[in-house]
Every structure is written in C-alpha cells, then in structure tokens.
Structure 1
C-alpha cells in the first residue's frame, strides 16, 4: 500500500492518516489502543500525532488485518513473534509496489 503522504513531515494527524488509509479515524484510534507498537504522541489538545514510524506500523497492521485477513489477535501474535521478518517482507513489497507504479508511469509516457 502506497500512501500519499508528505515524506518530510515529523508528525501526521489522525485525520490525515484516516484519509490516506481510506478508513475512519475511529478505526485508527481503536488500533492505537489495541496495538502496543503504535505510540503516537498527543498534543496539548490531546490529539494523536503519529510519527513516520507509527505510519509504517499502521501500514503493517493495515496489511495484516485488511489485506491478509488476520484477526486482531492473530495480527498481534504475528507482530510479536515475527515483527522483524514481517516488517522486512512488508518493506520489500512496499518498495516493489513503488517501483511498479514508477514503471507504469514510464510506460504510459511512451
């Protein structure tokens, strides 16, 4: 899943991420409570501010739950047992999808 987010930001609001993932903000708040790997900071108003690391973890959770059909408990177990291996595979897939998009853009320009 390739998100359309500015790569140079230090923090993303829950609204930005809900739009990028095409989900309700309430789902992201729920995942924040359920998954220990998510550690967004809260600003003075109490709004969650997600770091780029949180975004990577959200992508991984989204991939496991929404794309691969894991239950929440299954995703939690999978993350605890093989987080490094899963993250490596996910990053490879993500990079390949980015390359595919670039190649398709080049093809359309030919």
Structure 2
C-alpha cells in the first residue's frame, strides 16, 4: 500500500491569504470584518489578523450573498442574522451543484475529444 501524505489543515490564515482566496483587496476583507459580526479574527502580538477556517467559511457566505447574489451589505447582514442555517444550507447545495457541473463539463470534453 503506497504511503499517502496526510492533508494538513491550516489553523490560521493571514489577511493576504484570505484576500487571494476571494481575489479581492485586503481592504475589503477588513471592511467586511467590521460590517459582519460573524467574523472575529484572532490578532497576534503584532496586531496582524489571523483568520480561522470558520472565518474563511463565513467569508464564503458573505462573498456568495454580496458578490454572487448581488445583495446589499444590510441585506446580507439581515439574512445571516435572521436565518444563517438556511443560508448555509443553500450555499452548500449551490457549491455541490457547481462541483457536479465541473465534473460533467470535464466528462463532456473528454467524450468530445474521443470522437475526434
């Protein structure tokens, strides 16, 4: 049985890493941190923000609501405050559907390549 490298999960992400994940500027990450109380980064001795995987998951929700669905910040805040569980469930379903779409598109490309 071949040796398999264990997948190591990061405990903290810097603001730069989070900004690159979403292809946004760090100023937007700082702004969303102030606007949404579900994001609470740890600050080290230097004062640098260190985001947990839970914070990153919350950024995914905010990004989905604001950037993909086009909601206002107030609307996204209200949605997360009123029914975060439904929002999370809807986001997870959409994420899985997008993953399925990617797999299906790859299959389609492979099938079209075999025909040529």
1:51 matched to 2:76? The reply is no
TM superposition shift of 1:91:
1.1
TM-score by length of 2: 0.81
Using CA pairs under 8 Å that are at least 6 residues apart, name the structure with larger relative contact order, 1 or 2. 1
Q: What corresponds to 2:30 in structure 1? A: 29
Q: What corresponds to 2:3 in structure 1? A: none
Counterparts of 2:100 and 2:80 in 1: how far apart (Å)? 26
Q: Is the partner of 1:74 in helix, strand or coil?
A: helix
Cα root mean square deviation, aligned = 1.8
TM-score by length of 1: 0.85
Report Cα offsets for 1:56-105 as digits up to 9, x if no partner.
11011011111111111111111111100011110111122123223333
Gaps of 5+ in 1: 1-5
Gaps of 5+ in 2: 1-6, 112-116
Larger radius of gyration: 2
Q: Is the partner of 1:45 in helix, strand or coil?
A: coil
Structure 1: 4+ residue segments shifted above 4 A? none
Taking a change above 3 Å as real, the CA distance of residues 101 and 19 of structure 1, as seen in their structure-2 partners, is: same
Q: What corresponds to 1:3 in structure 2? A: none
**Higher deviation after alignment, 7-16 or 65-74:** 7-16
Q: Is the partner of 1:10 in helix, strand or coil?
A: coil
TM superposition shift of 1:26:
0.4
Q: Alignment length, in residue pairs?
A: 105
